[in-house]
Every structure is written in C-alpha cells, then in structure tokens.
Amino acid sequence: MSNLFRLLTYNVHSAIGSDRQRDYNRVINVIKEINPHIINLQEVDLKPEKSDGRKSFLFEKIKHSLGYFGVKGVTMLKSESAFGNAVFVKNEPQQVHKYDISFGKREPRGVMDCLYKVNDTPLRILNTHLGLKRKERIYQFGHLKQILQKNQQMPTLLSGDFNEWQFRSKQIQLLKEDMNMVNRLNTFPARYPVFSLDLIFYSKGMELVNYKVHQSSLSRQASDHLPFVGEFRLSKQ
C-alpha cells in the first residue's frame, strides 16, 4: 500500500439488496467499482451457508475473489450462522483487538481495532456498527472514545455505521475532540439517501485528499446503504 490510499466503509446488509434478494456478487462488484485499499464492512455474513450443496459466505468470497486479507469481527453467533463486521486490507495486520460494546439486552455490537504497516509507518484501522437506540449509542460513543485514546499518537482511521441521525449530535462532538471527521454525506436508504449514518474519522498524521458517496446503478441495488469512500495520505504530524 502506498502513502495515498482509499478507504471504503459499507454496510452491506448481508448482501440483501433493494429487491430483497441476497446476492453476494453484487456487493463484490460494487467493491470492484471502487477499488479500495482498505474495506470496513458492517452486517457481513461470516460463517458458511449451505447453498446448492456448496458452502459459501460473503467474507470468504471477498477474500478469494478480490485478494484481500480479512479479519472477522463476529457480534452474533448461532449454530448455522455468524454475523458482524469485517476489515479487509491487501496486507496482513500486525495486531488485532476486538472490543465488545454491547448495551444491555440490545443487539450485540463490537469495535475492531487493527494495526497495519504502510511503508514502515503504523496505521490503525477501526471499524464499528453502533446501536439503533440513543441510550445505547451514548454508551457506545463513550467506549469508542476510550478505545481511541489507547494509541492517540498513531495515525488512525475510524469508520462504520454509527446510526447517528442528528447532525448536532453531542456524541459526535465528543469524538471530534480527538479526531477529524469527513463531512457527512447521505448514504441511507440507498435508493433515495436522506440520512448520513455512515461516517469516517481520521487523526493527526492523516491528510484527507478526497471523499464521496459511491453512487452507481449497482450500488443502489446491492444493499440498503450506499458505500462511503475517503482517500487519505499519510502526512507528517
């Protein structure tokens, strides 16, 4: 990976599209359209499903079809399935930490914290998916801030589906005390996006070069969220 790289954050909704059909290949082709160096996915199938006598699931399909190293962040595990977040990069991580930020009896939530090397420079990648209720998000934003403060001097990218509808959210302001935030763009629902639920934050040592919501005929069909893309360059702190 060069000092200039592209981050994709994307809630893939288990590859269930606007037609209510599960189609892993659509998601893979959307990723191909973007050609990212780093992929942070939410709502990913992480365990094989039986299909036509063969076992297949999105996590493995991305690894094998696109040539990424993948890290699983399982939040829900059942006998026949697993579900959660995933990080994909072209090279292997140096370290991986996973944090449980679940709130009460609400749906389990987690944070993935992965360390990579970019031309001998450490780069920290965090991926998360926060809860639907305001009370649980307040709890989860507080945990995120604590996690971020573990390595404040390291170049860091944090992204995911934050489920935060309000532009003047106090919780987002809390994170912005330590991180820069890419301007919010509408990503949900995919066909007629009016809410900016998917966010990207970046630390000192990172220069934002470009950002966009990737809109194509395929991306509007593949999931209920649109992909959010940021381009960054490692810079001197």
- pLDDT per residue as tens digits for the range 101-132: 999 999 999 999 999 998 888 999 999 999 99
- pLDDT per residue as tens digits for the range 32-85: 999 999 999 999 988 765 544 345 689 989 998 999 999 999 999 876 778 899
- How much is the average pLDDT of 176-202? 97
pLDDT of 208 above 80: yes
- Where would I find the H helices in 48-133? 58-66
Q: How confident is the model at residue 147 (pLDDT cuts 50, 70, 90)?
A: very high
Which of 88-92, 118-122, 185-189, 195-199 is least confident? 118-122
Q: Is the pTM of this model over 0.85?
A: yes
Closest CA to 14 of 69, 80, 58: 58
Specify the pLDDT at position 73.
95
Contact 8, 38 (CB under 8 A): yes
Please list, in sequence order, all residues whose beta carbon lies within 8 angstroms of the beta carbon of residue 172, skipping any fewer than 6 positions away. 141, 162, 164, 181, 199
- How much is the average pLDDT of 97-101? 97
Contact 153, 130 (CB under 8 A): no
Q: How confident is the model at residue 153 (pLDDT cuts 50, 70, 90)?
A: confident
Mean pLDDT of the chain: 92
Domain boundaries of the chain, sorted by first residue:
4-234
pLDDT of 137 above 90: yes
Specify the pLDDT at position 52.
45
Contact 133, 212 (CB under 8 A): no
Q: Which residue has the higher pLDDT, 162 or 51?
A: 162
User: Judging by beta carbons within 10 Å of its beta carbon (0-12, 13-18, 19+), is residue 231 exposed, middle or buried?
Assistant: middle
CA dihedral 42, 48, 76, 94 (to 10 degrees): -60
- How much is the average pLDDT of 167-191? 95
Q: What percent of the chain has pLDDT over 70?
A: 94
Q: How confident is the model at residue 236 (pLDDT cuts 50, 70, 90)?
A: low
Looking up tokens 């269930």, which residue turns up? 16
Fold of 4-234: Deoxyribonuclease I; Chain A (3.60.10)
Specify the pLDDT at position 53.
39
Specify the pLDDT at position 17.
97
